[in-house]
Structure 1
Amino acid sequence: MRKGAFWAVVAVLVGAAILVRLLSRPSEDAHERMHAEEVKAQAAVESLASLPVAQRLQKLKEYLSLESPIAMRAEAVEALARIDTAEARAMLREALRDFASPVRVRVAETASSQPRDYALELLVDCLADHDTEVRQSALLALQQIRDRRAVSALITLLREDSNEKTQHMAMGVLRALTGQPFYARYTDPPARRQQARQQWLAWWTKTQAEFPAITPRPVHPSQTQPAPDLTLRTLEGARISLRRPEKPLLLHFWGTWCGACQQELPHLTAFHRKYGNQVQVVGVAFDEPAGARGLQQFCAARGVRYPQVLGDAPIREAFDIHGVPQSVLIDTQGRIRFWWVGARDTATFERAVQRLLK
């Protein structure tokens, strides 16, 4: 009898737990929403395939407007790259003015499908982009087209860009284009990687006259969009208006549970140390398992000293956040000037802010 009563209680508790889980679970996972949005954008763009080129370009121009979701704009870039007309190529280059990184990265990724001279010009321009991910996407594309005219721009990148992955990729492309043996694995000690870099620079001093000099003409983001009309409250109680920030505002959407976010934190803290007097950095943490107290403890343990906000549904919906990390740079007029999806390095934020503060 007692055994039966015990199992009856267990069944009731399990049933109650399942009911609570079902009632509290969001109706749709963030990644599911992101996937659904991408599928919708892809279907919309693919439906244009049967249209005459002129009509297709007109629709793609509409899809590239800032009124469209970022996923739609990125898919429009993909479609433009498949149209072999001067107008399509001009629109592809113009897409680099978009403030959203997925759109601009997609330009670099698809550039190699263009006529060779245009592809080379576009990719060399992307090597001077503010965003490290755009630069690295351009390096991958240059590896595909293998045009020796890019050597001078690659050497400039190797000399000026301190990102170790970018340097490693640039040396790989240089080796493919020139046949020179200077190389170091990404896992080699820093001294060995620096030695390979110096070998390339010494080689260039002797041979640069053999290669044409191509000067990058980067296209910087110039399109803007009003930030959501929200006022955030930090854990300390301070209020931050997105439409009227006192100084440029860098919002970092993240979570303590997110591996990529944790890898990015040293870059954010380094940026804050250097630019904290000129730019307000604010973390917006979503789905924190230990709430405000756990977030504060996590930040204190890792030396994160810029203010934090607990992300909620209104913030998530206003920015259409499907995943983290993401970062948005807002100017003092309350306009979104840069939006990065995925982790970024200190140099990316620094180059963007330097353009903003000019």
Structure 2
Amino acid sequence: MNRNRWILIGLLLLLGVALYGNTGKGLLSFVRTTDKSETETNLDQNSESLSALAAAGAPKPGSATPEFTLKGLDGKSYQVGGQREKPLLLNFWASWCDPCKEEAPDLVDLAGKYSDKLDVYAVNVTQYDKIDNVKEFVETYNYTFPVLLDEKEEVFRKFNGAAFPTNVLIDKNGVIQELVIGVLSAEELEAKIKKLVD
């Protein structure tokens, strides 16, 4: 009898959680059915909101790059801000980010192709990552450019980072020319790089 009472209590709790979840506010709100168009609309609105949020507080094109210094995987310190010998592509990423994995081969190709005219720094936002995964990612995708470690997310916050990847194109004078959230095709990214280095 005692065992049956506990089973009944458990079933009632599950039923209560499921009913509460169907209101869209509970733990099981994912059970609620929506049609595909509503889901797509919500995703589109969330993407637009994310982009708007990131753009709202981010340094604008034409403004000076926030200054920072970060250590790289190679143990060296890298400084950004002010004048430099070559334009710079800053790539903020994380090892678990699928769009970052998609973009990685293009970054490697473009960094090699424009190595005499462009610096590329891959800034891993290490607060959201694990160093072993970072090293594995770098090895898997054959990164030959510096990989900087933003261990406390301080630099990503300076750019009002909201999503991975985020690419910042900076000219030789340390002025931001463009801030790109999300993945571009290799052709689109190369067009932006050509504009930056010319």
Specify the code of the residue in structure 2 equivalent to 1:282: Y
Q: Give 5+ residue unaligned stretches, structure 2.
A: 1-45
TM-score (structure 1 length as normaliser): 0.38
Q: 2:162 aligned with 1:322, yes or no?
A: yes
CA distance in 2, matches of 1:225, 1:342: 21
CA distance in 2, matches of 1:225, 1:319: 12
Q: CA deviation at 1:320?
A: 0.7
**Partner of 1:70 in structure 2?**
55
Contact kept, 8 Å, 2:83 with 2:172, in 1: the verdict is yes
**Partner of 1:353 in structure 2?**
193
DSSP 3-state at the match of 1:225: coil
Taking the TM superposition and a 5 Å limit, the aligned residue runs for 1:268-307 are 268-286=107-125, 287=127, 289-291=129-131, 293-307=132-146
Q: CA deviation at 1:268?
A: 0.7
CA distance in 2, matches of 1:269, 1:257: 18
DSSP 3-state at the match of 2:177: strand
**Partner of 1:241 in structure 2?**
80
Structure having the larger proportion of residues in strand: 2
**Partner of 2:4 in structure 1?**
none
Taking the TM superposition and a 5 Å limit, the aligned residue runs for 1:125-164 are none
Q: 2:101 aligned with 1:262, yes or no?
A: yes
Q: Matched residue pairs, number?
A: 148
Structure having the larger proportion of residues in helix: 1
- Could you say if the C-alpha distance between residues 243 and 343 of structure 1 is closer, same or farther in structure 2, counting changes exceeding 3 Å? same
Contact kept, 8 Å, 2:84 with 2:172, in 1: the verdict is yes
- Could you say if the C-alpha distance between residues 296 and 72 of structure 1 is closer, same or farther in structure 2, counting changes exceeding 3 Å? closer
Q: CA deviation at 1:38?
A: 4.2
Q: Percent identity?
A: 26
Root-mean-square deviation over aligned CA pairs: 2.8
TM-score (structure 2 length as normaliser): 0.65
DSSP 3-state at the match of 1:243: coil
- Could you say if the C-alpha distance between residues 232 and 243 of structure 1 is closer, same or farther in structure 2, counting changes exceeding 3 Å? farther
CA distance in 1, matches of 2:185, 2:106: 5
Deviations 1:224-260 (A, max 9, x none): 1110021232222132223233311100011110011
Deviations 1:32-82 (A, max 9, x none): xxx7x949x79xxxxxxxxxxxxxxxxxxxxxxxxxx72489xxxxxxxxx
Larger Rg: 1
Contact kept, 8 Å, 1:38 with 1:71, in 2: the verdict is no
Specify the code of the residue in structure 2 equivalent to 1:232: L
Q: Give 5+ residue unaligned stretches, structure 1.
A: 1-34, 43-68, 74-98, 101-222
Q: 2:198 aligned with 1:343, yes or no?
A: no
Q: CA deviation at 1:295?
A: 1.5
Specify the code of the residue in structure 2 equivalent to 1:336: I
